[in-house]
Structure 1
Amino acid sequence: MPSIPKQLARGMGTFAKPCSCIQPTRCQHPYFIRYRDAAGKQREESGFRTQDAAKERLVELYARKSNTPASKAELIRHYGQMRFEDFIGDYMGRQRRLAYGTAYEYEHLARNHLIPELGSRRVETFSPMVVENFLTTMDRLGTPDPTQFKAYGFLKTLLLDAHRKGAISEHPLQDVDAPQYEAERAIVPTKEQIAGIKMAADHDRFSMFVDMMAGCGLRNGEALALNVNNIVADDVYRVTEQVHYRTKKLEKLTHRARNRIMSGPS
Structure 2
Amino acid sequence: MSVFNASRLVGKTVLITGASAGIGAATAVLFAKGGSNVILAARRTDALKAVAEACTAAHKESGIQQGGKFATVQLDVADKKQIASFIDKIPQDLRSIDILVNNAGFVLGVEKVGDISEADMEAMFTVNVFGLISLTQLFIKDFRARKTGHIINIGSVAGREPYAGGAIYCATKHAVRSFTGSLLREVVDTPIRVTEIQPGMVETEFSVVRFRGDKAAADKVYEGLQPLVAEDIAEEIVWAASRPPHVNIAELYVLPVNQASPTISFRPGKQ
So what's the TM-score if we normalise by structure 2? 0.21
